[in-house]
Structure 1
Amino acid sequence: MQDHPALRPWLPALRSAGLDVNVYADMAPVQWGKLLLNLNNAVNALSGLPLRAQLLDRHLRACTAALIDEALAVLTRAGIRPQSPAGPPPSLVVRVMRLPTPLFRLLAARLLRIDAQARSSMADDLALGRPTEVDAIQGEVLRLAAQLGMAAPLNTRMVALVQGWAQHPMHLSGPALRQALGV
């Protein structure tokens, strides 16, 4: 939550009720940290796999890591230091995602304790023919990159792939998505 004088008296009551409340002086870095994690939503949607299975595919993790790396370069140029809302910093997440699957399983055990059938909301939207949030997620990276005179080709390609789904509805395997992104 954004720190505010009106919030402070309520914090003890919220915490005593068992709510894990984090207070931030500036929410923008936290919002960017959350957006970085949400870059995986498009990968999940195009894979057609549940999140857990997708995260266990090293090729698909490499795609997500590349998207996050590209976004981190844009954020660095903008002078933004993203904060993870929960868990390790985004730069560490990228390194863990690139590990061989047995090591990833070990280090990301808590993350992998998700429902075996859970999927991203973007995957559901794509499957049901609804508009996706790719423009709000990858598109935000693209808008910031454009403001800075930078290119973000991987996130640009991901937007095109998700938007092209309606004309060519086909799930992509890990190797196929890596090839489509050039990573």
Structure 2
Amino acid sequence: MKVVILGAGAIGCYLGAALKAGGLAPTLIARPRVIADIHQAGGLTISDYQEEQWQVGTPDMTDSNEALADADIVLLTVKCLAVEESAQLLHQYCKAGTLVLCLQNGLGSDAIIKRICPTLNILRGIVGFNVAPLGEGRFHRGTEGAIYCEPNDTIRAALTSAFAKTNIQLLSNSDYEAIVWAKLQLNLNNAINALSGLPLKTELEHAGYRRILSAAMTELLVVAKAKNLNLPKLTRLPARWLPPLMNFPDWLFKKLAASMLAIDPQARSSMWEDLHLGRLTEVEYLNGAVVKAASKLGIDAPVNAALCTLIHQVEHHQRHEGLSSSEIEKAIKKEKKKIEQKKGR
């Protein structure tokens, strides 16, 4: 069973190294810069928040998309904004029936691949943990979480035991739509973290930022209820308990949410990295997905709408990152006022 990882950045390199440590021989399609860095480092090293580490040597790496022609399974690990370009490559090179596991955050990007690649077997998946590149071929998993995907016997048989060797669970569920929304609830913090400019642990220990996250999560839960989705428990607490937890005082939150805060002190969201490096973000597939779904249902989502606006302002250099919680809340009030004014017309 030939596994190819298309778009081997931080997530793709981590998963490729994990599969290699688990006894498989994946091919990683990456940018020449990434390939050169890993060769210069003498191979890949991955570590996790439990202080475990695996050195796996140099995997099979190439910058040629022709490697897709031999793939039985493709793990697509590009960002949402690169999905359409990747779909064209999959359509051009992959043989009919190739399994493509789309591991993008948020909602909607898989529809692009299904439209462009009708002969491929497209599966939706999510990587439920954070990975940070540390340089010199090292990639660090800073948070807990599993890989979730739609049910597929081939994927389960080919990848589950290999991932398990590096403490990665591969879980599938027939009610995948509910899992996507439960994961999206957690990912709503990506925008807040990016705007704050702080490490995730520091940001989550701040009551003001948690208050914003609570409001954003509440909007998502209202939408999920309207869609008749029963969100599964992806953390130690049920999805509906998370917004109230965020509003607890700092001392009580730290006590009750110890597992949530058991993350690398320097871990940050991938959206922070995108903003920091001047790249466009996936915010429209995350907070924006809540806004779009809410709009279709006639529901207001001013908190997530304001977060999208703020992220876009930073993207276009109209604001700087490093916003205080009060600055974000000011933008939310402005968005709520705009909605009220529209209703008053």
Which amino acid in 2 is paired with 1:178?
A: E
1:54-111 per-position Cα deviation (integer Å, ceiling 9, x unaligned): 0000000000010000111111112222223343222111111110011110111122
1:3 and 1:40 map into 2 onto residues whose CA distance is 27
Selected match of 1:24 from 153, 166, 173:
173
Kept after mapping to 1: 8 A contact 2:219/2:301:
yes
Q: Secondary structure at the match of 1:131?
A: coil
Kept after mapping to 2: 8 A contact 1:60/1:178:
no
Match of 1:160 in 2: 309
Kept after mapping to 2: 8 A contact 1:46/1:123:
yes
Q: Secondary structure at the match of 2:292?
A: helix
Which amino acid in 2 is paired with 1:71?
A: L
Match of 2:49 in 1: none
Task: Spell out the pairing of 1:1-183 with structure 2 (5 A cutoff).
Answer: 1-6=149-154, 20-165=169-314, 166-182=317-333
2:157 and 2:186 map into 1 onto residues whose CA distance is 31
Say if 1:25 and 1:180 are closer, same or farther in 2 by CA, change over 3 A: same
Q: Secondary structure at the match of 1:22?
A: strand
* Greater length-normalized contact order (CA 8 Å, ≥ 6 residues apart): 1
Q: % of aligned pairs identical?
A: 35
Which amino acid in 2 is paired with 1:47?
A: S
Which amino acid in 2 is paired with 1:105?
A: K
Aligned residue pair count? 183
2:160 and 2:268 map into 1 onto residues whose CA distance is 35
2:277 and 2:172 map into 1 onto residues whose CA distance is 37
Unpaired runs of at least 5, structure 2? 1-148, 337-345
Point out the more displaced range, 142-151 or 50-59. 142-151
* Greater share of strand: 2
Per the TM alignment, residue 33 of structure 1 is displaced from its structure 2 partner at its CA by 0.5
Which amino acid in 2 is paired with 1:180?
A: A
Say if 1:52 and 1:4 are closer, same or farther in 2 by CA, change over 3 A: same
Say if 1:175 and 1:19 are closer, same or farther in 2 by CA, change over 3 A: closer
Say if 1:56 and 1:14 are closer, same or farther in 2 by CA, change over 3 A: same
2:270 and 2:321 map into 1 onto residues whose CA distance is 18
1:179 and 1:111 map into 2 onto residues whose CA distance is 27
* Greater share of helix: 1
Per the TM alignment, residue 168 of structure 1 is displaced from its structure 2 partner at its CA by 1.7
Structure with larger Rg: 2
Unpaired runs of at least 5, structure 1? none
C-alpha RMSD of the superposition: 2.3
Say if 1:105 and 1:163 are closer, same or farther in 2 by CA, change over 3 A: same
Say if 1:25 and 1:124 are closer, same or farther in 2 by CA, change over 3 A: same
Per the TM alignment, residue 16 of structure 1 is displaced from its structure 2 partner at its CA by 7.7
